[in-house]
Structure 1
Amino acid sequence: MPLNKELLELLACPQCKGVVRYEETQSRLVCDSCCLAFPIRDDIPVMLMDEAETLG
């Protein structure tokens, strides 16, 4: 299920406070500035640094 557009506009990277983009196919939010991906579990974004995946 796609994320609500209004919710997506409110979310920010917890590290740099920058914009995140939604990757529906991977079910995650990505911060291109920090090269981090945050998972979405049960339609809830998990915006915790401990849960972030570094993109290579």
Structure 2
Amino acid sequence: MSATIEPWLREILRCPSCHSELLDGTSPEGGPELQCTGCTLAYRVDDGIPVLLVDEARTRS
């Protein structure tokens, strides 16, 4: 499993689309992701590094 993001870093990261807070979550495939509290986007985390690209984000239902 990929490394988790340090809490201090997660607190300052924001959704690049709507600028809302991001919370720790799990993707449908079981991998770690950051889920936006303001919109339906979720960003994967690769080896502890969040991929904060709107074009590569997953839309949560």
Moved over 6 A (4+): none
Find the counterpart in structure 2 of residue 51 from structure 1: 56
TM-score, structure 1 normalization: 0.88
Q: Percent identity?
A: 36
- Unaligned runs of 5+ residues in structure 1 are none
Between 1 and 2, higher relative CO (CA 8 Å, sep ≥ 6) is seen in 2
Q: How many residues align?
A: 56
Partners of 2:44 and 2:4 in 1: how far apart?
A: 13
Q: Structure 2 regions of 5+ residues with no counterpart?
A: none
1:23 is displaced (CA, Å) by 1.4
State the superposition RMSD in angstroms: 1.4
Paired position in structure 2 for 1:6: 8
